[in-house]
Amino acid sequence: MSVHESAVAPLAPAAALATAPTPQPVARPRPSPYRIVWRWHFYAGVLVAPVLLVVALTGAVYVFKDELDRVLYADVMFVTPRAEVLPLERQIAAVEAAYPGSRADTIEVETDPTRATSVRIRGGAVPPQRVYVNPHTGAVQGAIGDDSFFRVVLDVHRRLFIGTTGRAVVELVTGWTIVLLLTGLYLWVPRNGSLRGVVVPRVRAKPYTVLRDLHAIAGAVMFPVAITIALTGLVYSLVWGSGYSLASSAPAAAHKSVSKSTAPALPLDEAVAIARAHLPGSSFVDVKLAAKPDDAIVARAKLSESSGPRSQVVLALDRSTGAVLDHQTSENYAALRWWRTTWNYPLHVGSVLGTPTKVIWVGACLVLAALPVTGLWMWWKRRPDGRTGFPRRPDRSVPLWLLGGVAFLGAFLPLVGASVLVILLGEWVATRLRDRRARATEHPTR
């Protein structure tokens, strides 16, 4: 090698470095919420599957409670109309004679002449139940107790046969069902412009793909009805519902009659007539009887509940003169109480427009029952052999809007919020234990 070559050679690397492009910082991937949402959608489905199946199916049966009751208990609830109608006091006396030791608590009178009078009794050797008496003959036709078919269905629907614990479980599942529906809708939204598999199922694809499409499309189509059922159901739940009732209920007033307790009692038929006069077109009136000599009679007239919002008028009447001591209507309630007593129940059971919407609501209940089943089936078919196939925690950061949504749902649904904290705590503990085992494997003690 020449001197010239030896002098120049060391400069070559420096020149190369001088002309090399400046390395650019590696851009961090943008947060992708899709896998995060899918992961929570999966866990929500696993969490709610068994209970949601039971609650949705019992809800589907309960939608047509009134129609089925009229079939199951036709011999008890219906009579042959006649011109003569016995005074309500005689009808109550016939019921109390048939159930010795019992006391009539509430009486319900239908406008329909083919309907029997319903008397709610308490005390005696039988549990509280509704006894039906023929208003024309005074014959006691039978009773529908708390062990009737639809009372059992409702107990399963609300309490799972385990009382207060069941109510808490049902509320937790209802909250997670809302999460399941919202995350499912986000996952369903088309992202590549194609409607195949989003609006139209790919019926010629593999069975897994067909089921996946039907799962997503059925959930999206029934989303408005399903989310309505879940949200209105919260009003009847343990924690959320109790808070709503506390916020919407007015202090109960114990109305006392002005007349002396020795004055002749107002005939119950007159109390019913007064209530009907305050709500023309009402389909039935129920009267809560005075338990004490100086108590007022509380009469409540209601419009038909077969369709539309509920509407009622509640009157407190002097037990002797029938003078109106208090008068309340649905329209005069504060907003929360008005919603609870008018629209919430019809929207929950689908009686908004009568039979057509009830059929749609039943369809939504069946979809709600099927979604977790099909979801679990898809997971089982796709999971790797010997592994759970549970989605892993994404490495990417969570967008702020998604964190805000989680925080809102946690505050709006207290039991869901508490369960999310438990899940996150469990993940944190599991991660720490896994890391500790990994370090112990890499650096075993000698």
- Here the CATH number for the domain that contains residue 297 is 3.10.450
Q: Mean pLDDT of all residues in the chain?
A: 87
238-251: pLDDT as tens digits: 999 999 998 987 65
Whether 225 maps to a domain, the answer reads yes
What domain range includes position 102? Answer: 74-147
18-36: pLDDT as tens digits: 455 555 555 555 456 888 8
Sign of the C-alpha dihedral, residues 128, 297, 132, 111?
A: negative
Residues 409 and 425 in one domain: yes
Residues 269 and 385 in one domain: no
The predicted structure's pLDDT at residue 446: 52
Q: What are phi and psi of 254, to 5 degrees?
A: -90, 95
Dist CA 37 CA 283 (whole Å):
48
Which of the two residues, 139 and 32, has the higher pLDDT score? 139
The predicted structure's pLDDT at residue 15: 47
User: For 263-286, what is the mean pLDDT?
Assistant: 91
Query: Percentage of the chain surpassing pLDDT 70?
Result: 87
From the CB of residue 1, how many other CB atoms can be counted at a distance below 10 Å?
Answer: 6
99-121: pLDDT as tens digits: 999 999 999 999 999 999 999 99
Of 25-39, 116-130, 394-408, the range with the lowest mean pLDDT is 25-39
Last residue of one domain, picked from the residues 147, 173, 207: 147
Within 282-329, residue ranges assigned H as helices are: none
Number of domains in the chain: 3
Exposure string over 194-216, b if 16+ CB within 10 A, otherwise e: eeebbeebeeeeeeeeebbbbbb
Whether 392 maps to a domain, the answer reads yes
Residues 238 and 256 in one domain: no
The predicted structure's pLDDT at residue 253: 57
The predicted structure's pLDDT at residue 445: 58
Whether 438 maps to a domain, the answer reads no
Give residues with Cβ within 8 angstroms of 260, minimum separation 6. Answer: 320
Residues 40 and 183 in one domain: yes
User: For 45-60, what is the mean pLDDT?
Assistant: 94
pLDDT-derived band of residue 147, with 50, 70 and 90 as boundaries?
confident
The predicted structure's pLDDT at residue 433: 86
Residues 172 and 234 in one domain: yes
Of 41-45, 68-72, 181-185, 194-198, the range with the lowest mean pLDDT is 194-198
Residues 174 and 210 in one domain: yes
Whether 265 maps to a domain, the answer reads yes
Q: Which amino acid is at 446?
A: R
Give residues with Cβ within 8 angstroms of 119, minimum separation 6. Answer: 91, 92, 95, 104, 106, 107, 108, 130, 131, 132, 133
Residues 230 and 308 in one domain: no
pLDDT-derived band of residue 396, with 50, 70 and 90 as boundaries?
low
Last residue of one domain, picked from the residues 147, 170, 199: 147
Give residues with Cβ within 8 angstroms of 82, minimum separation 6. Answer: 136, 137
Which of the two residues, 79 and 128, has the higher pLDDT score? 79
Sign of the C-alpha dihedral, residues 220, 225, 229, 230?
A: positive
User: For 10-18, what is the mean pLDDT?
Assistant: 48
DSSP H or E segment with residue 110: strand 102-110
Residues 174 and 237 in one domain: yes
pLDDT-derived band of residue 4, with 50, 70 and 90 as boundaries?
very low
Does the structure show a pLDDT above 70 at 38?
Answer: yes
Residues 239 and 168 in one domain: yes
Residues 257 and 242 in one domain: no
155-182: pLDDT as tens digits: 999 999 999 999 999 999 999 999 999 9
117-123: strand order across its sheet: 140-145, 129-133, 117-123, 102-110, 284-288, 297-302, 312-317, 324-329
Helices (H) and strands (E) in the chain, counts: 17, 8
Whether 389 maps to a domain, the answer reads yes
Whether 25 maps to a domain, the answer reads no
The predicted structure's pLDDT at residue 251: 58
The predicted structure's pLDDT at residue 11: 47
SS3 107: strand
The predicted structure's pLDDT at residue 5: 47
Q: Which two tokens stand for residue 305?
A: 């509940």
The predicted structure's pLDDT at residue 424: 84
Residues 139 and 215 in one domain: no
Give residues with Cβ within 8 angstroms of 211, minimum separation 6. Answer: 374, 377, 378
Backbone φ/ψ region at 160: left (φ over 0), alpha (ψ -120 to 50), beta: left
Sign of the C-alpha dihedral, residues 406, 412, 416, 420?
A: positive
Does the structure show a pLDDT above 60 at 141?
Answer: yes
Q: Which two tokens stand for residue 328?
A: 């309340």
Does the structure show a pLDDT above 50 at 414?
Answer: yes
Residues 240 and 256 in one domain: no
Q: Which two tokens stand for residue 154?
A: 């409702």
pLDDT-derived band of residue 198, with 50, 70 and 90 as boundaries?
confident
> Which of 229, 201, 204 minimizes the C-alpha distance to 216?
201
Report whether 95 contacts 121 (CB < 8 A): yes
Distance of alpha carbon 184 from the chain centroid = 18
Residue found under tokens 């959930």? 219
Whether 1 maps to a domain, the answer reads no
Last residue of one domain, picked from the residues 95, 112, 147: 147
pLDDT-derived band of residue 8, with 50, 70 and 90 as boundaries?
very low
Whether 327 maps to a domain, the answer reads yes
